[in-house]
Amino acid sequence: MKAESPVIEIQNLVRKFGRTDAVNGLSLSVRAGRCYGFFGRNGAGKTTTIKCLLNLLQPTAGSVRVFGTDPARNEVAVKSRVAYVPDYVAFYPWMTVRETLEYLASFREHWNGQTEKELLGQFRLDPLKKVGHLSKGQKTQLALIGAICPEPELLLLDEPTSGLDPIVRREFIQTVIGAYQEAHPGQRTIFVSTHLIAEFEGLIDEFTIIEEGKEALTLESDVARQRYQRIRARFSQSPPALDFPETSWARRDGRELELVVNGNSAQILSRIKSYSPETVSMEALTLEEIFMASFK
Amino acid sequence: MNTRLAKEARSLFPVWVLTLLLPAAPILIWGKEVIGLAAGLFCLGSAMLGATVFGAELNYRSMDLLLSQPVSRRQIWYEKMLVLEVALFSAFALFMLGLRWYYPELSANPFCTLRPFIPLCAFAATPCLTLVSRNFIGSVVFSLALPMVILLCGEAWLVNVIAPSSGLDEYAFEEAFHPRLLVYYLLGALGVYAGVTYLLGCLRFNTFEAADRPAGETSLSPVPGGAMDCLLRRIWLGPSGSYANLIRKEIRLQLPSLLTALLFSVLWAIALIIKAMRPVDVAQSLAAGGVGGPLLSDPPALLLQLSLLRTELAAALGTGSFCLPGRGSLLRFHDRFVCGSHLTRRLFPRPASQATTAAAGNQACAESVTIVTKSAHADSTDETAGYTTDGTTQARRRLLPRSTTEEWREGRAEGGRSSVYLLLGAL
C-alpha cells in the first residue's frame, strides 16, 4: 500500500436488493489513523456499505478498495488487517466466553492475550460462562474484545454500542477505542457506524451522513462545528423577518429567534446585530445536532 | 485438535447422535419388521447432518462472524466438508455395523450397492441446498426429494421408454431387466448428482453473500418489486398498504416452506384424484396403500399408479389391451404396506427368512396381494387368461375369493382413513 493511499476508498458504490437500491452511488475516502463516523437513518445503507468493505456483499456497481486492494480479490489479505463488529452480534450459544475467544484467535496470526485479560476484567465477563447465557450487551462486549485483541489496523464497527448500558458504553468508547487508537497514532483507523453520535463526539475526526444510499454530507468534525452554528437572539419586540439562504432551521418564539446556520455564520451574526437585539449568542452544534439539521 | 475443526465437530455432534438414534428407535420398539422405516430415518438423519453444517450458521446468524475472519472461504469450506465427511461416513459405518449385528442374515440384492450413496448424497448435495435455500428445513426436504425425483425419472424412463421397446411384457421385463437397469441408472445419475451439487456448493459458498434478508426487508423502505409483489399489488390494498406489507413479508420469510407445502399438496391432490378415479380392486388397493402410506417418500409408486391408470382407462375405453400390473409393482405394494418405502426396503431388504411374511396387522392384505401375484405369474392358468383377454373389472373380481376381496376393502378403508389423517397433518 502506498503511504498516501486511503485505508478505505469507495467510489460510486451501488448495491441493489431486487429493485431496492440499498446503496446508490456512494463515494467516500478514509485516511489512515482517523476515526471516521458513518451516520444515517435506519435503512440508509450503512450496514450494506460495511458488508461490501468485507466482501460479505458484492457491489452491484462501483468500486471498493480497502488498503488499496479489492476485498473480493484479496479477501484474506484485507481481512487479516481488519476486525469487524457486526450490528447483530451472533456467536455459537454452546461455546463459553473462553472458547469463543479461542475460536476467534484461531483465525489470527497475532492475538494480544494481555488485552484480552484486561478487557474481560473490565467488562466483568466470566470466561467460563456460556455465550447462550449472555445478555445482548455482554455479547457485544465479547465481540468488541474479539475485535480489539488481534490489534487490527482497521476496526469496522457497525452500531457497536447498541445494547450496552451507559456506563459500559462510555467506558468502551473512551477507554477501549480511545486507547486502541492512541497505542499507534496515525496507523489505526476506526470506521464506525452509529446512531449514538453524541457518545462518539470527541472521537470522530471526520464523518459522512448517508441518506437513501447516497452521501448527504461529508465533513471533518472541526470544519462541521465551525460551519454549523446556532445563533440565539432576543429582541425587545418581535424578531424581524430575516431570510438567510444559509439557514438550515429557524424558530421564532415570542421575542426570541433561534437559527441554525450552515456557513457564513459571522456574516449572519453581524446582520442580526444590526437589528439591535437585547442579547445574542452563537455556539457550535454537536455532531448529533448537525446530523439532525442535515435532515431538516 | 485444531480449534476450528473441534468447533465444527461440536456443532455436528448432537445431530450425529440423532442420526444414529433415529433408526435405532423404531427397531428397538417394533422389531425387525421396520427395517425399511429405520433406513428411511437414517436417510433423514443424514440429510439433517448435511444441512447442519451451514444451517447452524444460518440459524445462529453467525455467517457474518465466520466470513469476516481472515481465512479463505475455500479453507472454511474444506474444513467444514472434512468434518461432515467424517461424521456422515462414521454414522453410516456404525449404522451398517448395527444392522449386521442385529440382522446377521440380512438379505442382499442389486440395490444394496447403492447404500453408500446415502451418506455421499447428504455430503455432496445438502450443503449446496442449504446455501441455496438459506433454510435448514427446506434443505433437508429437498435433499431427500431430489434423489427421489432422480429415481422417479429413472423409473419413468424404464417403464415408458425402455420396456415398450424391449418387446417384452411388463412382467417379463420386470424380472429380466428392471432392477439391474435401475441400479445402473441410479449409480450413474446419483454419482453425477453428487459431483455436480458438490461443485455447485463450493462455488456457491465462494460467492455466498451474508445478506440478512429478513432484517433487510424490515429496515428497507417498502419498495415493491418482483412478480410476487406485482401480484400482491393487484389483489391487495396497494403497494404500501399495511396488510400488503405484512403478507409480502410473511411470504418472503416463508417462501421455502410454502414451496414445499405446495409440492406436497400437489402430490396429495394427484394421489387423491387417482384414488377417486380407480375402478378396479387391485388398483384401488394399490392406491390406498400409496395414498395412505409413504407416498411422499415413494414417488415410483405414484408413477406406477399413473401408468396403471392410463392402462386401465385405455382398457375401459376399448382402445387398448388390458394387462396386469407387473409383479414388481405388486411386491412394491406388499413391501410398502408392511412398512417402509419402496427404495429403502430394496436398499435394506429384510432377512430372507422373513421376506415372505408380513406384519400381523397387515397379514391378510399381504396374502391377498401374494395371491394376485401368483395368479399373474402363472401364465398357463385360466385366471391369467381371464385377466389378459377379458380385461374387465368383473373378470378380475371373479378370480378372487370373496373373503380376499373383503380383506382388500378393509385394507382400502384403512388406507383411506390414514390418507385423511396424513392429509390433515400435511395441511
Asked whether residue B249 falls in the same domain as residue B261, the answer is no
From A85-89, A270-274, B5-9, B166-170, the region with the lowest mean pLDDT: B166-170
CATH of A8-212, one of 3.40.605.10, 3.60.21.10, 3.40.50.720, 3.40.50.300: 3.40.50.300
Asked whether residue B16 falls in the same domain as residue B69, the answer is yes
> What does the pLDDT read at residue A23?
92
Asked whether residue B47 falls in the same domain as residue B29, the answer is yes
Q: Is A182 on the interface with B (CB under 8 A)?
A: no
Question: Which of residues 198 through 257 in chain A touch B, CB cutoff 8 A?
Answer: 212
**Mutation choice for A interface testing from B52, B75, B79, B220 by most A CBs within 10 A:** B220
Contact A20 B221 (CB under 8 A): yes
pLDDT average, residue stretch A155-183: 81
Rounded distance, CA B26 to CA B42, Å?
A: 11
Q: How confident is the model at residue B234 (pLDDT cuts 50, 70, 90)?
A: low
Query: pLDDT digit string (tens) for A40-83?
Result: 888 889 999 999 999 999 999 999 999 999 999 999 999 999 99
pLDDT average, residue stretch A130-147: 91
> What does the pLDDT read at residue A266?
81
Q: How confident is the model at residue B423 (pLDDT cuts 50, 70, 90)?
A: very low
Asked whether residue B166 falls in the same domain as residue B306, the answer is no
Over pLDDT 90: what percentage of chain A?
45
Asked whether residue B47 falls in the same domain as residue B104, the answer is yes
Instruction: Provide, as residue numbers in chain B, all residues whose Cβ is less than 8 Å from the Cβ of A91.
Output: 60, 62, 65
B263 in a domain, yes or no?
yes
Instruction: Provide, as residue numbers in chain B, all residues whose Cβ is less than 8 Å from the Cβ of A84.
Output: 64, 68
Asked whether residue B138 falls in the same domain as residue B286, the answer is no
Query: pLDDT digit string (tens) for B374-416?
Result: 333 333 333 333 333 333 333 333 333 334 444 444 444 444 4
Contact A79 B70 (CB under 8 A): yes
> What does the pLDDT read at residue B285?
41
From A203-217, A261-275, B143-157, B282-296, the region with the lowest mean pLDDT: B282-296
**CB contact at 8 A, B289 and B404:** no
Q: How confident is the model at residue B270 (pLDDT cuts 50, 70, 90)?
A: low
**CB contact at 8 A, B270 and B252:** no
Q: Of B170, B203, B204, B208, give the one whose Cα is nearest residue B324.
A: B170
B312 in a domain, yes or no?
yes
**CB contact at 8 A, A193 and A158:** yes
B335 has pLDDT over 50: no
Among chain A residues, the shortest Cα distance to B219 is held by A43
Top mean pLDDT of A237-246, B181-190, B306-315 is at B181-190
> What does the pLDDT read at residue B352?
54
Contact B4 A106 (CB under 8 A): yes
Instruction: Provide, as residue numbers in chain A, all residues whose Cβ is less than 8 Å from the Cβ of B213.
Output: 17
Top mean pLDDT of A203-217, A262-276, B85-99 is at B85-99
The total of structural domains in chain B comes to 3
Over pLDDT 90: what percentage of chain B?
24
Residue with cell 426429494: B145
From A149-163, A222-236, B139-153, B257-271, the region with the lowest mean pLDDT: B257-271
Asked whether residue B245 falls in the same domain as residue B300, the answer is no
A190 has pLDDT over 60: yes
> What does the pLDDT read at residue A250?
78
Residue with cell 417402509: B340
Over pLDDT 70: what percentage of chain A?
97
Between residues A181 and B289, which one has the greater pLDDT? A181
Asked whether residue B241 falls in the same domain as residue B196, the answer is no
B216 in a domain, yes or no?
no
Q: Of B331, B337, B372, B373, give the one whose Cα is nearest residue B111.
A: B331
Rounded distance, CA B123 to CA B125, Å?
A: 6
B290 in a domain, yes or no?
yes
Name the burial class of residue B398, with classes exposed (0-12), middle (13-18) and buried (19+) by CB atoms within 10 angstroms of its CB. Answer: exposed
Question: Which ranges of B167-298 would DSSP assign to H, the alpha helix?
Answer: 170-176, 178-206, 213-219, 226-235, 242-253, 255-277, 281-292
Asked whether residue B268 falls in the same domain as residue B165, the answer is no
B56, B69, B219 ranked by CB distance to A107: nearest: B69
> What does the pLDDT read at residue A94?
92
Instruction: Provide, as residue numbers in chain B, all residues whose Cβ is less than 8 Å from the Cβ of A107.
Output: 4, 69-71
Rounded mean pLDDT of chain A? 87
A101 has pLDDT over 90: yes
Rounded distance, CA B156 to CA B151, Å?
A: 8
Asked whether residue B242 falls in the same domain as residue B261, the answer is no
Q: How confident is the model at residue B343 (pLDDT cuts 50, 70, 90)?
A: low
The Cα of B78 is separated from the nearest Cα of chain A by a number of Å equal to 15
Domain definitions of chain A by residue range: 8-212, 227-294
Query: pLDDT digit string (tens) for B352-372?
Result: 554 444 344 334 333 433 333
Query: pLDDT digit string (tens) for B19-70?
Result: 999 888 888 877 776 777 788 889 999 999 999 999 999 988 899 999 999 9
Instruction: Provide, as residue numbers in chain A, all residues whose Cβ is less than 8 Å from the Cβ of B2.
Output: 106
| CATH number belonging to domain A227-294 | 3.30.70
Rounded mean pLDDT of chain B? 68
B215 in a domain, yes or no?
no
Asked whether residue B285 falls in the same domain as residue B236, the answer is no
B145 in a domain, yes or no?
yes
> What does the pLDDT read at residue B359?
40
pLDDT average, residue stretch B276-298: 43
B126 in a domain, yes or no?
yes
> What does the pLDDT read at residue B241?
61
Q: Which domain holds residue B310?
A: 256-426
Among chain A residues, the shortest Cα distance to B2 is held by A106
ipTM confidence score: 0.85
B415 in a domain, yes or no?
yes
Q: Of A127, A132, A134, give the one whose Cα is nearest residue A102.
A: A127
> What does the pLDDT read at residue B217?
37
The Cα of B421 is separated from the nearest Cα of chain A by a number of Å equal to 38
Contact A106 B2 (CB under 8 A): yes
Q: Is A132 on the interface with B (CB under 8 A)?
A: no
> What does the pLDDT read at residue B174?
67
pLDDT average, residue stretch A5-31: 90
Letter for the amino acid at A74? N
Contact A19 B223 (CB under 8 A): yes
Question: Which of residues 14 through 43 in chain A touch B, CB cutoff 8 A?
Answer: 17-20, 22, 42-43
Among chain A residues, the shortest Cα distance to B63 is held by A90
pTM equals 0.73
Asked whether residue B362 falls in the same domain as residue B245, the answer is no
Instruction: Provide, as residue numbers in chain B, all residues whose Cβ is less than 8 Å from the Cβ of A72.
Output: none
Q: Is A91 on the interface with B (CB under 8 A)?
A: yes
Contact B3 A91 (CB under 8 A): no
